[in-house]
Amino acid sequence: MLMKGPDTPANTSDTHPVGWQVAMKRAIRSQAKLREIVGLPVESGHASDEDFATFVPLEMVSRIRYGDPNDPILRQVLATPQEQVRVEGFSNDPVGDLDASIGGGLIQKYAGRALLVTHGACAVHCRYCFRREFPYSDVSALRKGWKTAIELIRADETIQEVLLSGGDPLTLTDSKLDELIGQIESIAHVRRLRFHSRLPIASPQRLTDPLIRRLASSRLLCWFVVHANHAAEIDAAVAASLGRLRDAGIPVLNQSVLLAGVNHDVDTLVQLSERLIDLGVQPYYLHQLDQVHGASHFWVDPETGKQLIRAMRERLPGYAIPTYVSEVSGRPSKSPVD
Ligand SMILES: *Cc1c(COP(=O)(O)O)cnc(C)c1O
Ligand code: SF4
């Protein structure tokens, strides 16, 4: 496929999609290249690839309005000088993942559920992410072939549900995933397998038919939690992929982060919820931003967030309202903000 010149957006997702591994290889990997491809001036002093590597698949770039520095998708991936501002209360591990790591890439904070950090890689690098400062490559389970994690899950009969998160579990190949799912299936007390993945949004061709068949035929009930913050992220290709999950009987939820300059107004949140429920995807959580260094410019104060939720209630069915939550280290669940 021909690469488009810098004067047109890289609209490649809905013509002949390349395989997802090729899509990952073609992803934009520097702020300078990102600025160039979306039609922004490439100024020195803007790039901050050293702090947090840039990674944006072209499928996601294709949804960005060309030449608009305020585009809500671009804002999620564009480095800004505000990232350098150190703000009190913003830290490196705001959600206490290091304290809750029980070994082998397993993080257990909540009853009945254990989260497996399957892979250090992500489908897209979001500038607001609480993991931007987290040493995932150190705790990633992959390096030890999940042996420790599987033993820990097997030894704890209270674990009914295993969450595959990361990074992004779908950056594993089908054969690695098959191996991992097989090991989890062999643990009798585990009943559900939950995927937390942004790949269905960032690079929807990842949801291949063989992968969906594997999940649908598992002994475990699979749930999917995807992550979109704005309706513009859900183009026709994403909608089709989410539809394939639904057709296979796999429930799909969406979580979002409340982000200044991206989705912190009621019209945007209503449009996102409507887009999701039209596709049979249930809005699950709206997260208060985790206070990680470098992300303070995305902060929306909780009072504003509560008003937004109230305003959404006046316009949407009850099932379209996500639960507005924050993550407070040491609590036994996500904490509703109300
Ligand atoms: C968020 C999270 C979960 C899932 O919580 P739910 O409320 O069930 O969605 C599980 N484990 C960890 C470590 C988490 O951070
Ligand atoms: S963990 Fe999720 S929010 Fe964070 S960078 Fe990866 S895809 Fe983005």
Query: Which pLDDT tens digit goes with each residue over 153-205?
Result: 999 999 999 999 978 999 999 999 999 999 999 999 999 999 999 999 999 99
Buried b / exposed e over 308-330, threshold 16 CB at 10 Å, is: bbeebeeebeeebbbebbbbeee
Model confidence pLDDT, tens digit, residues 257-271:
999 999 999 999 999
**Structure confidence at residue 194 (pLDDT):** 98
Q: Could you identify the atom of ligand 2 that is nearest to the CA of residue 196?
A: 2
Is the pLDDT at 277 greater than 60, yes or no?
A: yes
Q: Could you identify the atom of ligand 1 that is nearest to the CA of residue 114?
A: 11
**Structure confidence at residue 94 (pLDDT):** 78
Q: Name the amino acid, one letter, at 190.
A: V
Judge if the beta carbon of residue 226 lies within 6 A of ligand 2. Answer: no
* Percentage with pLDDT > 90 across the chain: 73
- Region 301-311: what's the mean pLDDT? 98
Ligand 2 centroid from CA 210, angstroms: 25
Ligand with the closest atom to the CA of 198: 2
Ligand 1 centroid from CA 180, angstroms: 20
Ligand 1 centroid from CA 266, angstroms: 26
- Residue 171: strand pairing partners: none
**Structure confidence at residue 304 (pLDDT):** 98
**Residue holding tokens 């990680």?**
292
Judge if the beta carbon of residue 123 lies within 6 A of ligand 2. Answer: yes
Going by alpha carbons, the residue nearest to atom 9 of ligand 1 is 334
Region of residue 43 (left: phi > 0; alpha: psi -120 to 50; beta: else): beta
Model confidence pLDDT, tens digit, residues 56-108:
999 999 999 999 999 999 999 999 988 888 888 888 777 777 778 888 889 99
Judge if the beta carbon of residue 125 lies within 6 A of ligand 2. Answer: yes
Going by alpha carbons, the residue nearest to atom 11 of ligand 1 is 115
Write the CB contacts of 184 (distance below 8 Å, at least 6 apart in sequence). 150, 153, 162, 190, 193, 220
Structure-block tokens of residue 89: 């209360």
pTM above 0.85, yes or no: yes
